[in-house]
Amino acid sequence: MNGSYTDTGLRQARVIRSTTQYHAVCFWPDATIRRAPDGGNFNRQEPFFLATSSTSNLSVVLAMDDAVKGSTGVEASCNPSCLKWQTYLKLLKIPFVSVASSNHASPSGSLPFLLPAPSKGPASQPPSPVTANKLLRWSKGEAKITDEVSDVRLEAYEALLDGPIRKAWLFHLYLCHPNFSSVAAPCYIQPSSSNPLVGAALSYELRSAATAEILKSSSLTAAGPFKVLDAESLYVQAEDALSALSTLLGTHEWFFDAKQPGLMDASVFSYTHLLLDDALEWSDKRLNDDLRNRVCEESAPISDLRMP
């Protein structure tokens, strides 16, 4: 992690042209700066608990891996659910500060959630947190969006991400032993504790939670008296979902032929960015390679992608 990154082989393609357009380097877990979809940085010059905008002073509470590095900035999340909303707020140009937290601190029991700025005045009441299921409406109201794709259409295609792609991600990260050791452990275990007993307990908790979520779909278990995850089905269904997203994007710049990137683009970015990021030392690369092959199918090369 030396503060710079060059990828001379990555090519834009039909699968996620909008994603690779703003796919950028991430120096994880030591970096303090990552580039956002609009070309800006997640970096902030102020301490994480301060804000720079007079109109919006808010905190997006993310996962524990989003560590503050002194006062120079906060890195983008390694959690797709958190990175999605970091990205979307950046796209809407809503200023925010990322704060490290855990699911236990969230009103809904899961991350992320948002803490709006308190109203000015001596008698003002602290604002209520905005949980993940309310972030879309809150963001649209804050940015005064009126022409984005319909919620019904968005939900239909986001089901591909929340279903097969997420399940494959959970297996790929937590239940594929080589990847758990090379990616998940440095991201979630090692920053929490150096005690091997604590690490073992955290590992068990993470892997058990991932298994339980995947097993909600009975179609992903192999035949027999016991529930056994069918890894091949997980990967095949994720690959089919990526193919469907490729078809949806087609030759358009952004999903749904929108004039500018929206929530769907941010949602796709949250997975493809992490899977295509060479700074994350993936050991088993089946899911990564399938995505990268699609990204390289029909595209012009990106000669240099570098972060200062």
Domain that holds residue 49: 21-148
Query: What CATH number is attached to the domain comprising 39?
Result: 3.40.30.10
Confidence class for position 155, pLDDT limits 50, 70, 90: confident
Question: Could you tell me what percent of the chain has a pLDDT over 90?
Answer: 26
- pLDDT tens, residue by residue, 12-55: 223 333 332 322 222 222 222 233 344 444 333 222 222 222 22
On whether residue 184 sits in a domain, the answer given is no
Cα–Cα distance measured from residue 211 to residue 228, given in angstroms and rounded to the nearest whole number: 10
In a domain, 98, yes or no: yes
pLDDT class of 219 with cuts at 50, 70, 90:
low
What is the spatial distance between Cα 249 and Cα 256, in angstroms, rounded to a whole number? 7
- DSSP E strands: which ranges in 87-243? 97-100, 113-115, 130-131, 221-222, 228-229
Model confidence pLDDT, tens digit, residues 88-120 = 988 888 888 777 777 777 788 888 888 877 766
Please compute the mean of the pLDDT values over residues 277-297 and round it to a whole number.
86
Among the residue ranges 140-144, 145-149, 184-188, 303-307, the one predicted with the least confidence is: 303-307
Q: Is the pLDDT of residue 10 over 90?
A: no
Residue 87 lies in a domain: yes
pLDDT, mean of residues 6-11: 27
Contact between residue 66 and residue 77 where contact means Cβ atoms under 8 Å apart? yes
**129 occurs within a structural domain:** yes
CA dihedral 104, 109, 115, 121 (to 10 degrees): -90
User: What's residue 251's pLDDT?
Assistant: 85
Residue 287 falls within a domain, yes or no? Answer: no
Contacting residues for 159 by C-beta, under 8 A, at least 6 apart: none
Q: What band does 176 get if pLDDT is binned at 50, 70 and 90?
A: very high
pLDDT of 128 > 90? The answer is no
Asked whether residue 53 is assigned to any structural domain, the reply reads yes
Mean pLDDT of the chain: 70
Percentage of the chain lying above the pLDDT 70 cut = 65
- Is residue 196 reached through a cis peptide bond, with omega within 30 degrees of 0 on the bond before it? no
Residue 33 inside a domain? The answer is: yes
Distance of CA 129 to the CA centre of its chain: 21
Q: How far from chain centre, in Å, is Cα 181?
A: 20
Distance CA 67, CA 158 (A): 28
Q: Considering the domain boundaries, does residue 295 fall inside one?
A: no
> Which among 48, 43, 8 has a CA at the least distance from the CA of 308?
43
User: Is the pLDDT confidence value at 273 over 60?
Assistant: yes
Tokens of 298: 């029909």
What pTM did the predictor assign? 0.73
Q: How many Å apart are CA 70 and CA 123, to the nearest integer?
A: 33
Q: How many residues does the chain have?
A: 308
- The residue ranking higher by pLDDT, 225 or 19, is 225
Output the pLDDT for position 224.
58
- Count of the separate structural domains present in the chain: 1
